[in-house]
Amino acid sequence: MNMMSEIRGAGLVERAREVAAVAGKHADAVDKEGRFPHEAVAAMKSARLFGIQVPILLGGEGATIAEIAEVCSIIAQECASSAMIFAMHHIKLSSCVSHGMGDEWHEAFMHRIVREQLLLGSATTEAGIGGNLRNSICAIEVDGDICRLTKEATVISYGKQADAILITSRSHKEAASTDQVMTVFLKDQYTLEQTHVWDTMGMRGTCSDGFLFKAEAPAVQILPKPFAEIAAESMLATCHLLWSATWYGIALNAVTRAQAFVRAAARANPGTTPPGALRLAEATAELHLIKSNVIAGIERFEAAKEDPAQLSSLGFAVAMNNVKIATSQMILSVINQAMIICGIAGYKNGTPYSIGRHLRDAHSAQLMISNERILSNTATMLTVHKLDTSLMG
């Protein structure tokens, strides 16, 4: 058996754990220096994790959303930025897998992702639009076989390190702001002129700088479906689910640290219940709620996957939005509990019980597509969508 098939043959969870170990070793430095976690990303490539979602037919492993979410959560327990990079890559890849099959260029591209372990970046956010994903100002210009695009992309995570960027725009110069397409541009087909620096409270390793993006490529690289469909049928769900899996991993690790703190206290004073034990019990109950929420979301997506009508229904969108809203809010309260349990040892950096990075990273969740925006979308949908009255679905 050659090396390659040996690595591929290994279980996904084991490979994720190996990556997590590398990510954990450098997580504090990545956070402190606000630098790209290149060690963890190199480990993802050598564990061949970037191609797992690609169908087996095209050389990948056909990993499900549940499997990818598990990997996100495992890596996030050690380094949230690394896990978020992995999640964002797979969110982009999900658009290719769901909407690029049957298209020659995109199939070949997926093949290349597996072979070369390419890292995919995303540019939806635009100056003047913010996180309003389903609107663009910039327009792609198709000139014969060639397409050109210039976009003021105010946030592109790992823009400098990505091997390709999937970017949204209006479909032509006269198109309405909601008539969008998404295009794959390869690294040697675009230039990035940096306009914003990512010096943030948390998620510092995602290096989500802002750029003036300028690209030219063969027009066949435009994904063959309208972005409205891509957003509804793959991106909305995979974003909320893989982000939530990542956030869950952050909260889980904070509680794990709090548990270690309580156990150490229990061992130091046998026969007594340490003061943090009750809070720990409370925190695990909340953690369990987050986990159930993420799992239910994943199951709902898996069930809806084969049916575009369900995927683009209001009920499904409401369900996915709710997973995101709940997870992003609840992790903050859980991590805060962990901090209270660990006290100063949690507040300080560099102790086995440090929670500061977790708390700072977790604060990005509410802003990553603003909860305010998502709630107002849900509010609109709830004027016609009626709540499900059954418990089991």
Partner 1 sequence: MKDKIRELLGKLGGLPVAVDTLADGADLYAAGLSSFASVQLMLGIEDAFDIEFPDHLLNRKSFASIDAIAETVSAIVEGREAA
Ligand X SMILES: Cc1cc2nc3c(=O)[nH]c(=O)nc-3n(C[C@H](O)[C@H](O)[C@H](O)COP(=O)(O)OP(=O)(O)OC[C@H]3O[C@@H](n4cnc5c(N)ncnc54)[C@H](O)[C@@H]3O)c2cc1C
Residues that bind ligand X (CB under 6 A): 84, 88, 121-125, 130-132, 155-157, 203, 206, 208, 364, 367-370, 372-373, 376
Contact set for partner 1, span 232-251 (CB under 8 A): 232
- Write down the least CB distance from residue 127 to partner 1, Å: 20
User: By CB under 8 A, is residue 220 in contact with partner 1?
Assistant: no
Q: Please, which residue, 36 or 227, has the CB nearer to partner 1?
A: 227
* Options 69-77, 101-109, 223-231, 245-253: segment touching partner 1 (CB under 8 A): 223-231
Residue from 118, 199, 204, 132 nearest 166 by CA: 118
Instruction: Work out which of 2, 173, 188, 386 binds partner 1, going by CB under 8 A.
Output: 386
SS3 readout for 142-203: EECCEEEEEEEECCCCCCCCCCEEEEEEECCCCCCCCCEEEEEEEHHHEEEEEEECCCCCCC
**CA distance linking residue 356 with residue 338, whole number of Å:** 10
User: By CB under 8 A, is residue 101 in contact with partner 1?
Assistant: no
**CA distance linking residue 12 with residue 47, whole number of Å:** 9
Instruction: Give the number of residues written for the chain.
Output: 393
Q: Please, which residue, 59 or 226, has the CB nearer to partner 1?
A: 226
Q: Are 252 and 362 in contact (CB under 8 A)?
A: no
Q: Please, which residue, 8 or 196, has the CB nearer to ligand X?
A: 196
User: By CB under 8 A, is residue 142 in contact with partner 1?
Assistant: no
**CA distance linking residue 23 with residue 142, whole number of Å:** 41
- Write down the least CB distance from residue 178 to partner 1, Å: 5
Contact set for partner 1, span 349-378 (CB under 8 A): 377
208 binds, among ligand X, partner 1, none (CB under 5 to 8 A by kind): ligand X
Residues contacting 205, CB < 8 A, separation 6+: 27, 30, 31, 34, 35, 36, 37, 79, 81, 82, 85
- Write down the least CB distance from residue 105 to ligand X, Å: 23
Give me the residue whose beta carbon is nearest to ligand X: 130
- Write down the least CB distance from residue 276 to ligand X, Å: 30
CA distances from 195 to 154, 156, 205 (A): 7, 11, 18
Q: Please, which residue, 277 or 367, has the CB nearer to ligand X?
A: 367
HSE of 286 in the Cβ direction (CA atoms, 13 Å)? 23
Q: Please, which residue, 191 or 370, has the CB nearer to partner 1?
A: 370
Q: Please, which residue, 54 or 87, has the CB nearer to ligand X?
A: 87
54-80 CB burial, b ≥16 within 10 A, e <16:
beeebebbebebebbbbbbbbbbbbbb
- Write down the least CB distance from residue 175 to partner 1, Å: 8
Instruction: Work out which of 226, 277, 286, 302 binds partner 1, going by CB under 8 A.
Output: 226
89-112 CB burial, b ≥16 within 10 A, e <16:
bbbbbbbbbbbbeebebbbebbbb
User: By CB under 8 A, is residue 390 in contact with partner 1?
Assistant: no
Q: Please, which residue, 25 or 360, has the CB nearer to ligand X?
A: 360
**CA distance linking residue 98 with residue 78, whole number of Å:** 30
Contact set for partner 1, span 169-198 (CB under 8 A): 171, 175-179
What is the contact surface with partner 1 in residues (CB under 8 A)?
134-135, 171, 175-179, 226, 228-229, 232, 308-310, 312-315, 377, 380-381, 383-386, 388
